[in-house]
Structure 1
């Protein structure tokens, strides 16, 4: 199950300003989601962002939205985004079958979204370093449950290079100059 930019969609769940201060590794999740989201945009991979109860939890983290000039925003009441009928319908109409999934909280909204996507027949790729919870153990447990259910744990670099496919393409050269240089210098924590 190799990722393809033609079949992919990046789904960033509930990285909201009011929630992030209590999320372990929340800053890293925002940084990694923003980095991959910006790359996705440059490769014409759709980026969708959800918000749960923004009146209480605030809107999406501004740094994230700044990195995603072209994204679709969904407000939801269900913990699982796919349980929202308009979301499910729009995703089906998009024709995208591979969903790269990240956000917070891993063990609640991200996991329920992922389980709903798997039940509906989508391939789900759990973006490990951009998925977090209030407690690291809960994020780890959510990842384990999701992989047992059929999701594939991936890193942002894995996704980026699978989307890029080859080094002699002009898109790779542009992405390398803009997004990929210097990434190895950042320490990452895998939940």
Structure 2
């Protein structure tokens, strides 16, 4: 499947400092940086974006630096975003955008369950591996393998960006590309 900006949504799952603090620094930093770059690109390209916060009363809000390019944040308690009625309604309001780019934490819990549920419901989720993380890298790798076996597309952030842009002649290429160097 080719990733197309006009068919895409970006779903940033549970990037809350309290959850991120339990993730080893290299994976945490990569997930934050790549999620941020994708959110900024999606904002510039007018791709619909949504962030979720797992039980924010106890785990706090999503990171401020990610919220700036994500106009909406929905609180949830379900591990799968698809199983939350408000989030599902938001997604369904964009049913002409069947490709759902998924970033966030934790790869083997909320990201995995959301992607599997979306795939089962007929969406085309794309889990952005280097914009996701888990406390344990082995669990993240296992989840990514399982997703691939289930038919869910797994990609990296830079690939998603360049597929969204599609051509060096794109009017926003010159302004957005430096973030990927």
Tell me the C-alpha RMSD between the 2 structures: 1.2
Aligned equivalents of 2:20 and 2:88: distance in 1? Answer: 26
CA distance in structure 2 between the partners assigned to 1:129 and 1:168 by the alignment: 26
TM-score, normalised to structure 2, is 0.93
Q: Is the 8 A contact 1:10 1:100 kept in 2?
A: yes
- CA distance in 1 between partners of 2:85 and 2:67 (Å): 24
Cα shift readout 1:28-84 (whole Å, capped 9, x = no counterpart): 211110011101100011111011011111111222223x1x422111111000001
Q: How does 1:16-165 map to 2 (within 5 A)?
A: 16-24=16-24, 25-66=27-68, 68=69, 70-95=70-95, 96-165=97-166
What is the Cα deviation at residue 173 of structure 1? 2.2
Q: Is the 8 A contact 1:31 1:64 kept in 2?
A: no
SS in 1 for 2:2: coil
Deviation at 1:174, TM superposition (A): 2.3
Unaligned runs of 5+ residues in structure 1 are 184-191
How many pairs were matched up? 178
Tell me by how many angstroms 1:160 deviates: 0.6
8 Å contact from structure 1 (residues 14, 103) kept in 2: yes
Runs of 4 or more above 3 Å deviation:
none
* Cross-structure match for 1:8: 8
How far off its partner does 1:176 sit?
2.4
- 1:6 partner SS: helix
User: What is aligned with 1:186?
Assistant: none
TM-score (norm 1): 0.89
DSSP-derived class of the 2:43 partner: helix
